[in-house]
Each structure stands twice: as C-alpha cells, then as structure tokens.
C-alpha cells in the first residue's frame, strides 16, 4: 500500500499567500514553456440531469509533480466539486488528493497575474474589474502582487455585489476601490482590465479600450462564451494559457475567426512561451494585449504541489492508502 495525503479545503484555505501562488504558477508555466506536458480541458456534457464533468492535467518535470483537476458542476445538486489528484512525476506514486475548491480562485488569479506581469505596462496602476465573484477577487489579490495599483474600479450588474466587493477588498488590501454603474465607466482610462463573468455576449466594447491596455479575460472557456467582441481580439496581441485550446473552447477567439477578422496565426504565443522566453511579452506602450485564461492543469499542479509541501511542513492532512496495481491486480 502507498500512503497518500488527503487535504481538505479548510486546511488549504489561507495556507499560502497570493504572492506564493503567483511564484508557483510562474514556475509551472516556465516548465511548460520548456517542454512540460499539458493538454486543454476535456469537458463532458450531460443533458438530463443537466451538468458537466471536466478534467485537465499537466506534468511539471522540475517540480516533480503531475496531476490536475477533475470537477463536476450542476447535476441534481446544482453545485460544483473540485478534486485534485497529485502524483510524483518520477515514481508515479500518488502524493495527495486535494479538495481543490478553496485554491481555485487563487491559482487562477495567479495565472492572470503572471499574464499581467508579462503583458501589462510596467507603470500600469489603474485596474478595472468586470465581475465581483470569487474569481474576480482572486484576480485582484494576485495582480496586486505584481503591479502597484493606485485605483481599482469594479462593475457588476448587481449593485449590492459591486459595493460589497469594493468595501471588503478595499479594507483587506488597503486599496481605493470604486463601484461604478457600467462596464464602460470601469474601463475608461484603465491600464488593466479583468473580465471575470459568465457572460455569453461581450461585456466591454472595443471602442472603450484605450491604446496600451492589457486585458485578462476569464470567461472564454466555452465556444458560446464571448466576454470580448471580435474586434477586441483582432486589435490585440493575443496570448492564451495554452495555444491548443484557442480554437477549441476560447469563445471570443473562435468568434473572431468566424467573423474573418483573424486567422489562427493571430496567436502570439501562449503563456508558457512568454515565461520561457521563446516569445516576447509586451513590445510597445500603445499595444493592446489579451491574456485568455480558460484554466489549465499547469497552474493547478503548480499550486497543488506548493500547497502539498506547505501542508506536510505544517503537519496537515489525513493519510489514506492506495494499493498499487501490482498488488491490487494480483492480490500479492
């Protein structure tokens, strides 16, 4: 039998700082850019009852870990569950099984922050956030570690949500956060824009985006999801987390292709290319840049391994046993 550590969500919450997530995820993308293995998500849809089952995975050879996410959403309970199996990349043995819910906004926020660090202007200080949920909060906490923010504007269609976001995160981070009445009000004059929504149609307009702006778009994980209009994609330097997923589930990129505004060559490189140095980041002060963050096994494995090592040091978790196949299949 092999001993594996089961880590509950409440044990992982608060175990690492946003900057530690950013450092781990940056390192994960460097390894991917230098040859580590990762694939876009696989999503299985069920119609009755409605729901989906999603997986994605990666191998980070220098970290010495592999694994990814397996999660369900919807179905009869209309909720979601995130399971993160983590394996040793040399022996193949299971290291840990993490309840991945609490880390989700932080590891995804960290990927966004790495994108900001390579694609936003060095002097970027005004942030606009469209959305006020957990993912928007994770993005802000991570971005704040890579850029010195003077002001933040947040728009959510629900007034109470945007006010709560501004008050709670403003107090927690010591930032000036203004809830505004529209997405146009949020993005006007912004250096960095984050779209963290479930929208099926564009939430900002190309005409409202000023030269030199960087955009992190998070709601492009389905061909029917189009947070950004086709013109915005066409006008920008476009960087997805994994290049292979751009034509599979990056809704706004697919829409720009279908409108004939771009070709697949419009992909500048993926985030691993930027971190590994095989593709340049921002090249001019007036350039509009986009990081399309749909979610990958890269940030998941990087964050999970970082949490696993911290949990071991803190003596957290519950040991569970797995039988290796040689034992389970032979009974020896």
Residue 134 near residue 104 (C-beta atoms within 8 A) = yes
Give the per-residue pLDDT at 134. Answer: 94
What Å distances lie between residue 329 and 91, 92, 99, 253, 322, CA to CA?
19, 17, 28, 46, 13
Give the per-residue pLDDT at 332. Answer: 63
Cα–Cα distance for residue pair 130/171, rounded to 1 Å: 19
Annotated domain spans of the chain: 2-104+297-330, 121-292
How many CB atoms sit inside 10 A of residue 235's CB?
18
C-alpha triplet 42, 45, 46: angle, nearest 5°: 145
In this prediction, the residues of the chain whose per-residue pLDDT falls under 70 are 331-332
SS (H, E, C) 181-211: CCHHHHHCCCCEEEECCCCCCCCECHHHCCC
Nearest Cα to Cα of residue 297 among 4, 19, 18, 56: 56
Same fold, 2-104+297-330 and 121-292: no
Q: What fold, for 121-292?
A: Rossmann fold (3.40.50)
Contact partners, residue 201, CB within 8 Å, separation at least 6: 226
- Categorise residue 283: left if φ over 0, alpha if ψ from -120 to 50, beta otherwise: alpha
Give the per-residue pLDDT at 223. Answer: 82
Is 2-104+297-330 in CATH node 3.20.20.140?
Answer: no
């Amino acid at each position: 039998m092999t001993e594996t550590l089961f880590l509950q969500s409440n044990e992982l919450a608060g175990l690492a700082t946003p900057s530690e997530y950013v450092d781990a995820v940056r390192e994960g993308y460097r390894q991917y850019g230098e040859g580590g293995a990762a694939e876009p998500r696989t999503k299985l849809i069920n119609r009755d009852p409605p729901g989906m089952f999603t997986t994605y995975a990666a191998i980070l050879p220098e970290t010495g870990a592999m694994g990814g996410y397996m999660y369900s959403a919807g179905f009869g309970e209309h909720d979601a569950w995130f399971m993160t199996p983590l394996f040793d990349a040399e022996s193949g043995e299971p290291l840990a099984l993490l309840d991945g819910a609490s880390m989700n906004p932080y590891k995804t926020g960290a990927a966004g922050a790495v994108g900001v660090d390579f694609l936003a202007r060095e002097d970027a200080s005004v942030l606009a956030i469209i959305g006020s949920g957990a993912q928007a909060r994770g993005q802000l906490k991570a971005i704040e570690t890579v850029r010195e923010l003077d002001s933040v504007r947040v728009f959510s269609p629900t007034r109470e949500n945007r006010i709560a976001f501004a008050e709670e995160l403003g107090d927690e981070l010591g930032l000036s956060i203004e809830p505004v009445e529209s997405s146009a009000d949020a993005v006007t004059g912004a250096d960095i824009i984050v779209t963290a929504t479930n929208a099926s149609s564009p939430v900002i307009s190309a005409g409202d985006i000023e030269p030199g702006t960087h955009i992190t778009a998070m709601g492009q994980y389905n061909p029917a999801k189009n947070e950004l209009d086709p013109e915005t994609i066409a006008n920008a330097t476009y960087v997805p987390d994994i290049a292979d997923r751009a034509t599979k589930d990056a809704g706004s990129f697919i829409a720009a292709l279908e409108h004939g505004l771009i070709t697949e060559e419009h992909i500048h490189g993926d985030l691993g290319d930027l971190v590994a140095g095989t593709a340049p980041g921002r090249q001019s002060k007036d350039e509009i840049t986009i990081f399309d963050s749909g979610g990958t096994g890269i940030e998941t494995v990087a964050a999970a391994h970082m949490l696993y090592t911290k949990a071991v040091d803190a003596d957290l978790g519950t040991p569970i046993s797995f039988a290796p196949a040689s034992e389970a299949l032979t009974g020896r």
